[in-house]
Amino acid sequence: MSARAISILGTLAAFASGGVLAVDTPSVACSLLISSEIEAVTGTKSGAGTPMDMNVPSAQGKQETVYVCLWPIAAQKAQVVVSMGRLPPGQNTQAIAKKNAGMDALRAKHYSEESRDFGSTTCSAMTPPASEKGGMNMTACTAGAKGRLVSVTFMSPTKKLSIDETKSLLDKAVGRIR
């Protein structure tokens, strides 16, 4: 499985492990960022966001829906992913973001990790080891806002986004939640 697939599945697994329930529609995830904001942070024009919903297994063994929007950044072979679902009452956003199968898989492949917390927001930057062919740089920030769990992830084999850059996108996305 590619590092990109592991990263995407890890983001979705974080939602599923928290027992996320269906919320909103796939297009709502795409309304949380605009292409010019992505370009300002990545330095390259992105393609249009593509909405989708994904059913993932929850910790309770049921299928849960997570809404996702993918913005391709062709010049960097990169993508920005916004994932959104309902934050179950009493769940800890940081625990959901830090303990999931995708992140564990990257750790097992000896990716280096930098993590920072900003209140209830948590961000991680994962860098592949030199020996990892086809490895992907990944930076993700996750927050709880207005009863939702929202994550912004950047992945690229060639470019790294800092935690601060990724968090700035998350802050914009969270600011648009109604």
Which is more confidently placed, 100 or 141? Answer: 141
- Specify the pLDDT at position 118: 92
- Picking from 69, 71, 81, 84, the residue whose alpha carbon sits closest to that of residue 24 is 84
Give the residue extent of every domain in the chain.
3-175
> pLDDT over 70 for what percent of the chain?
80
Residue range 116-131: average pLDDT? Answer: 92
Average per-residue pLDDT in the chain?
82
- Specify the pLDDT at position 137: 94
Q: The pTM is what? A: 0.82
- Specify the pLDDT at position 121: 92
pLDDT over 60 at 7, yes or no: no
- Specify the pLDDT at position 125: 95
Which is more confidently placed, 11 or 167? Answer: 167
Q: Rounded to an integer, what distance in angstroms lies between the CA atom of residue 55 and that of residue 18?
A: 14
- Per DSSP, the three-state class of 75 is helix
- Specify the pLDDT at position 58: 64
- Return the DSSP state at 157: S
pLDDT over 90 at 132, yes or no: no
> What is the domain class of 3-175 according to CATH?
alpha beta
Note the pLDDT tens digit of each residue in 35-94: 999 999 999 999 999 999 888 766 666 777 789 999 999 989 999 999 988 777 677 777
- Picking from 116, 152, 107, the residue whose alpha carbon sits closest to that of residue 6 is 107
pLDDT over 50 at 96, yes or no: yes
